[in-house]
Structures are given as structure tokens and as C-alpha cells.
A and B are shown apart, each in its own frame.
Chain A
Amino acid sequence: MTRWPVAGLLALLVAGCGGLGPSAADRPDTLVTTGFGLPDEHATARVDVFRQRRPEVDLRINEGAFDEQQFLSAVAAGDPPDLVYADRRKLGGYAARGAVQDLGPCLRRQGVDLARYRAAAVRQVTYGNVVYGVPDFFTVRVLVLNNPVLRQAGIDPASVSTSDWTALARMAEKLARVQDGRIERIGFDPRMPEFLALWSKANGADLVSDGPHLDDPRVVEAVRYTADLVRAQGGWAAFRAFRDTFDSFGANNELVTGQVAAMAIDSWYVNTLAANSPQVDVTVVPFTDRQGAVLTEAGGQAWAIPQGARHPELACEFIATMTAADTWVTAAKARRDALAKKGKPYSGTFTANRVADEKIFGEVYDPRGIPVLEQGVRVLRSVQDRSFALPPSPAASDLVRSWESAVARALLGGQSPQEAMRQAQREAERAITRVGGR
């Protein structure tokens, strides 16, 4: 009497465990992606190009932020997606662990010429001379200056530069406003600890090259300088708390309200400013090293094919289509038209594909007289090929954690910059040894 219920229950349990049929990703002409969303025309129009080219393919875009654990678990379980879209800095670790495929042969078959891509972006997806990804968007780092605040203080925005550290510190102190421990205005935000690699490079040191150089005296000097900058403007705790109050993505952002006089920032923020506060009076200038040479750090995402993907050739074709210059131009036009319907300017699309950028900014770009775009985009375009990128590392997450933690300790005054970076170097070396040993 009790046998049938027990059998039924066991059947339910087994069914719940899965494995009773092939996964949807096993079907031919199916492509499954992870980490890629469809937030705007840059994504939807490019996907449409592929769909029109290969209508028979069942393209499944798993939208949402990239989930590293989910991705690696799927690879480990032998059930990976066909494509992964992630921050380029993560690819080195995946390549070292064998989680993504060598794309060299398939890119050759698809006729993808990586020489047309920006060198810094290609460097980020190359590990041990093997290409593991194709770069997608491309960001750089620049300075944004608040013209009214600077002029009110008698400072010509054209004279601001990161070459003369003494003059920059003087300017920051002059522009900062601190009353009874409350900060009312930041004079200059060096954007630490995120921009440590840029400040170090400006001081002549590579934070990571053949290995980590976190305790290089020039890196330590950069940490000390930026920590002193922040200390002179109210100290890190108040500085950071003040920064947390900004409405950075709104019409009343920190530049409109005059809460910041000057700051180092990622290039995408210029687009954000143009969209949310088009009349904001700012000047975008390049970051420069101490000799006055233009310098910027590259960032962005890349496409890669996981190890064990069921449809690698189709995935490669998808990547080639998505990153082709013509596809980018189609997406740029779609984006421009969509924004035009809302009466908004199109601030351009910054890709890692140089040919695409030339066409977009030559044929599609529509700044509509917005000052921040007219001036800023010119600067952004001029620095793109002066960018550097840290080489991929199998322990990239650990390295970033080591140096960001060290800079935080130095900013807070808990450790001297030298002690903090020495500790970071020890931690980074240990992390690399551990990853190498596994």
C-alpha cells in the first residue's frame, strides 16, 4: 500500500535533480550568452544585425549583471554558455584557469583583424601571447574641471594639469571648502584608490608588469601624494562621506551644485553629464604624467567563448558580427535616432574598434551644440590611443584587493604609505604563488 507513494516521491526527487533530458543549449543553432544585457540600442541594434544575418539561430540572451560564480560553476559542471561578456580585467584569470578558449584560429577564420582594435584593449585580452577575447566598449580616464568654480577662484581651467604635483596640491587646497570638519567643496578629487595605476604610471612606475610592483618607491610616492591631497581637504573619512552625498547621475550632480571643483574620472561620465545636465559648464582635460605627456588608463568589456561551449564556431561568428565596424555604426545610428526622438544629443559610442569609432564620429555623432560634448569628446578621442592597460594576471582580483586595501589604510592614516604598500606587495606575491600553485 505504501510502495506507490514512496515510488512517486522518489520519482519526484529524481526529477527535481534534473538530468532527465538534454539542456536547451545542446540544440543545434542555439546560442546562449551570459553577462550581456539589452539596456539600449547599442545592444539591441547589434543583436538585431546578428539575428537578421542568422535568422535560424535561437539566440538566448541571459540578461543581468555578470555573475562570476555562476559562470565558473557552469564551466566546471560542463554546462557553460556559448558566450561570456565580462570586464576585460577578469579575462586573464579565466585564461590562466582554462575557463575560456583561445580565439586566435576562429578569429582568423572570421576575418577579424585585431590590428584594427586599440592596442591597450587587445593587451587586456591577451594572456601568454594567446588572444582569449574580443574587446567591446572602450573607456579612458580624464580630468573634469568645474569652470565657474575655478574662474571664481581666479584659476584658468586651461592651466590645470596633473604634471606639476606641487601646483596641483596648492590648487586643491585653495579650491576646497571645509567648515568645522564639514566639507562643502572638494578642490580636487584624485579618485583613489581606483586610479592608483594611473597615478603610479604618471610617476613613472608600472603597478604590474612582469609581476606586481606595489612597493616601488614611485608607487609609494603616488600614494603619499594623493593621501596628502585628501588630508588637506578634510581627511578621508569626511571626504568619502561627502562624496557619498552626491547625486552623480542626476541633474543636480556635484559639478552643477559646485560640490567639486576638479576631479579625475572615467570617460563615460562625460556622456552622463551631457544626458543629465547638458548645460553644465565644465572643461575636460587629459591626465598627464609628471613630464607633461598625455596618459590615460583603458577599461571596458570583452566577449569570450567559455571552455566546453557547445557552439564555438557560431559563437565566434556572433562575436565577429557584434564587434564589426559596420555593426557598431548601425547601433550608433539606432542610438542617435532613439535619443533624437527624446530631443537628446547623441554623445558618440566609444568602442575598442578604431575603424568603428572613425565612422561613428565622422558620420553619426550628433552633439547638438552641447558644450560638454563639443569640447569633451574631442579630448576623449585624442587620448584613446595614448592609453595603457595593466597586463592580465591570473590573480587580478587579489592584486586589486591588495592595493586598494593598502591605499585605503594609507588614506585613513592607519599605516604609512610605505608600510601599506609593502604589505600589499607581500599579499600580492602570495596570491600569485597560490594561484600558480593551483
Chain B
Amino acid sequence: MVSTREARAGWLFVLPWVAGFLLLTAGPMLYSLYLSFTHYDLLKPPRFAGLQNYREILLDGRAATALWNTVFYTVLHVPAQIVLALGLASLLRRAGRSAGLFRTVLFLPTMTPPVALAALFLLLLNGQNGAVNAVLGWFGFSGPQWTTDPAWIKPGLVLMSLWTVGSTAVLYLAALTRVPAERYEAARLDGASAWRQFWHVTLPGISGTVYFTLVVNTIASLQVFTEAYTMFFGARPSTPAEGDAALFYVIYLFQEAFGSLRMGYASALAWVLFLVIAVITVVQVRLSRDYVHYEDRS
């Protein structure tokens, strides 16, 4: 039983967070919800517009393009990130004594600032002189124009995003070490192949972590901004010469807000994205009941 005095002290300790949340998160969110029903250009007071902004989104071809680009990127990026991270974590687990060193090396790229990363990959992915195409050339492949051909811009960005796979791999490595060794032993005694061991022992054993990274990476991918903005829009808030191939949803939202000064419309775009993310997350939560295995519930 918590005494009144302890309860007060508890509230006092959480007060800075509560105040910060109300002032800096909940307040702006509610204000942006209000703005989404208005026309507002920063200078004149907001004018009520009802559902006009939301109706306009339905008819806005660029919003549709931006949403399509974002979903396309997410569908490529999230599975690629999970599969590669899992592969690297599995290798790391076998690294023995040097696992610590490799874990550090693998995690280090995550520390690279996104803007520096984008600038670096503009050079690496250049279709004429880039290192990526040079390597492909050694194997007899003629690489694409990663940074200027609309068909290859999103795959190029996915390739770049794998630079930070280390953070997910480290999580998987921690999860893999927690899978009880006796389960593998029992599986081996039953004659299970390496693939069956992975499918029936490893994957269920780390499904909670995989699920966590799936949700977090999906949300992050749907909000992708910095790298694409730096690479294709950086110098001026207009259209890059590659057209709309790198126009992701949050970039479009940013352009509408700070390029065209349509704060009401941009707020409506933000709330549509919020709803999209909420729906996808709810679906993921529902599916997790059938596919995610937690030790404490078994």
C-alpha cells in the first residue's frame, strides 16, 4: 500500500515528464488536429475550413505519389533490415571470443549522422562513377543509375538504409543468446536439420524481439525523411531533377508546411499519416497474437 506522502513524492518525480508531455507533445498534437480543419499560412489567423483539407488530400496526386513511395520503401526496407540483421546476428553468435569486437564494429555505422550518411551515399551510389557500380562491374553487372533513375532511387535508398542494420542485429544477438540451448539439443536428438532448428526453435524463441523491430522499423520507415531529403531536396525546398521518385510522405508534408505555408493542409497530412500508422500497428498487434511467442506465457 502506497502512503499519501509516497504518492505525492511519486507525482512530484514524474511531474517534469508530465508537464513536458502536456506542453511539448499532447498540446502541439491537439493544436495540429485543430489546424487540420483550418486554412493557416502562419501570418493570418487560422480560418475554419471544415473537412476541406482532408477532401483535398483524397484528390491530391502528389500526396498519393508520396504515400505510394513511402509504402514501397517500407515494404522493401523492413523485411530487408530484419533478414540481414538476423543473418548478421546468427554469424555473430558463432564468433566466439571476438563477438564483442564484431558487435562494436557492426554497431558503429549506426552512430553516423544521417546527413553525413546521405552525402556519402550520393557518392557511393552515383551511377557513373560510384563505388557500388564499380563493385557490380567486377562481377560483370552494369549497375543502374541509383540516384537519378526514378526506378532505382527507392531501391538505392533501401540499400543505404541497411548501413544502420547493426542496431537491429545487436538486439537479435541478445535475443538469440536467450534461446535455451536444451531446445536445440532436443531438436538435434529428434533429427531436426539446421533449417528446421531455425524455423521451429530459433524463430519462435526470438519472435518477441522480431515483432518489436518489425513494429518500430515500420513506423520509422513510414516517417522516412532525413536521408532522402538531404540527397534529393537538400539545397532548395523544391523539386529534385529526378521528379517525385524520392518524394516521401513526410517530405511532402514538410514542403506543404514550410515551402507553400499551408499549415492547415500539412496538419491534415500529418493526421492521415498518424491514422495510417495506427491502422498498420493495430494489424501488427492482432497478428502478433498468433505468431509471437513469449516465454512467460508458455
A residues apposed to B, CB below 8 Å: 2, 5-6, 9, 13, 68-69, 72-73, 75-76, 93, 97-99, 180-183, 193, 236-238, 240-242, 244-245, 395, 397-398, 400-401, 404-405, 408-409, 411-412, 414, 431, 434, 437-438
Contact = CB atoms under 8 A, between A and B. Distances in A.
Contacts of A9: 15-16, 19
Contact of A405 (B243, B257, B259): B243
Nearest to B242: A408
Among B12, B147, B242: residue with most chain A CB under 10 A: B242
Among B16, B19, B42, B122: residue with most chain A CB under 10 A: B42
Contacts of B126: 241, 244-245
A242 B257 CA distance: 33
Contacts of A237: 127, 145, 148-149, 242
Nearest to B38: A438
B132 to A, nearest CB: 12
Given A9-B15, A237-B145, A238-B127, A397 B42 contact: no
A224 to B, nearest CB: 17
Specify the main secondary structure of chain B where it touches its partner: loop
Interface in B160-218: none
Given A397-B259, A412-B150, A438-B44, A405 B242 contact: no
Among A72, A244, A431: residue with most chain B CB under 10 A: A244
A242 B8 contact: no
Contacts of B257: 69
Contacts of B16: 9
B58 interface: no
Contacts of A180: 142
A426 B31 CA distance: 32
Given A97-B43, A238-B128, 11 more contacts: A9-B19, A181-B142, A183-B128, A237-B149, A238-B148, A241-B147, A244-B148, A397-B237, A401-B259, A404-B241, A412-B243
Contacts of A5: 12
Contact of A244 (B19, B39, B122): B122
Nearest to A13: B19
A434 B262 contact: yes
B238 A400 contact: yes
Nearest to A307: B43
B281 interface: no
Interface in B261-278: 261-262
Contacts of B43: 72, 75-76, 97-99
A72 B238 contact: no
B42 A236 contact: no
Nearest to A71: B42
A97 B260 contact: no
Closest CB pairs A-B (n = 6): A237-B145, A237-B149, A241-B127, A408-B243, A405-B239, A240-B148
